[in-house]
Amino acid sequence: MSRVISVLSGKGGVGKTTLVSNLGVALAQEGKNVAILDANLTGANLGLHFGLLSYPVSIHDVMNDDALLTDAMYKHPSGVDIIPASLSIEHIDAEPRNLRNSIDEFLGDKDFVLIDAATGLDRETLNAIDMSDEALIVTHPELPTISDALRTKTITEKKGKNVIGIVLNRVNRKDELNRDNVSSFFELPVIGAVPDNPVVRKSIEAKSPVVLSYPKHRVSQEIRRVSSHILGKRHIQEDNGGIVSRLLAMFRW
């Protein structure tokens, strides 16, 4: 049976879709059968991270009962199956719909189904939460962003979903809070802290996830830390020239 995990954030701009795309590939590299579903109906861009620019069928067609879930699924060379949302302005008023029955029926052979949720707590986000069993929360280590993410965590738990942990993204030395501070706020483990680095933007521009374009970079290593946690594995971090050791010390891990 698939593990269906929604990836959530309290606000936009924290790099949620970047994490989803890279985490999906990292899990596939561990031999897992992975599908990624774009549930951000009015702000779709998951497919763009993989270079998927044009496609005849999207998740919007599935929600409108015009296609099956498998009709909207596209295989990436990394092995990940991508279910994109439409980029057309014609679908901007799409009504969110819980596709959990379709996920169980057509994606039951997957080890993981990652749902890239919309930001905030609108209908699209709540629908993504309803489709999942578990959740990851992505945030930046600053108080306003964490405050929004805390509300997301509260709603998610009220809906009976297991929140696996917190992923800090775009971390740098100027951040207000460290890993322990954030963990205390959420009363959850911080399972990854992805540093802010130009390779992320370069990878997005190249339409190729960081873990493929820069597999040995510390950004990729930290994303693999998240995948290892999800898989229940102990993560072995490569330390090229002590870079990782210095990074961990900088953020007081």
SS3 assignment, position 253: coil
Model confidence pTM above 0.85: yes
Residue 250, pLDDT > 50, answer no
Distance CA 20, CA 25 (A): 9
Distance CA 4, CA 36 (A): 10
CB 5 within 8 A of CB 114: yes
Phi, psi of 27 (to 5 degrees): -70, -40
**137, burial (CB in 10 Å: exposed 0-12, middle 13-18, buried 19+):** buried
Annotated domain spans of the chain: 3-250
Choice among 6-20, 41-55, 90-104, 234-248 with the minimum mean pLDDT: 234-248
Mean pLDDT for the stretch of residues 187-194:
97
Structure token digits, residue 12: 């936009």
User: Which pLDDT score is estimated for 173?
Assistant: 87
Locate the DSSP E strands across the chain.
3-8, 34-38, 74-75, 81-83, 112-116, 134-139, 162-171, 190-195
DSSP-derived pairing of the beta strands 81-83 and 74-75: antiparallel
Structure token digits, residue 60: 């919007």
SS3 assignment, position 236: coil
Span 109-152, pLDDT tens digits: 999 999 999 998 899 999 999 999 999 999 999 999 999 999 99
User: Which pLDDT score is estimated for 244?
Assistant: 44
Mean pLDDT for the stretch of residues 21-49:
96
Selected residue with higher pLDDT from 122 and 90: 122
User: Which pLDDT score is estimated for 93?
Assistant: 73
Mean pLDDT for the stretch of residues 193-200:
97
Longest dimension (CA), the chain: 54
User: Which pLDDT score is estimated for 253?
Assistant: 39
Averaged confidence pLDDT in the chain: 91
Structure token digits, residue 50: 């993989």
Span 203-243, pLDDT tens digits: 999 999 999 999 999 999 999 999 999 999 876 655 544 44
Residue 249, pLDDT > 80, answer no
**Count, residues in the chain:** 253
User: Which pLDDT score is estimated for 237?
Assistant: 59
- For the chain, how are helix, strand and coil distributed in percent, rounded to 5? 40, 15, 40
The amino acid present at 119, given as its one-letter code, is: T
User: Which pLDDT score is estimated for 158?
Assistant: 97
Residue 252, pLDDT > 50, answer no
Residue 246, pLDDT > 70, answer no
Q: Which CATH number fits domain 3-250: 3.40.50.300, 3.40.50.720, 3.40.109.10, 3.50.50.60?
A: 3.40.50.300
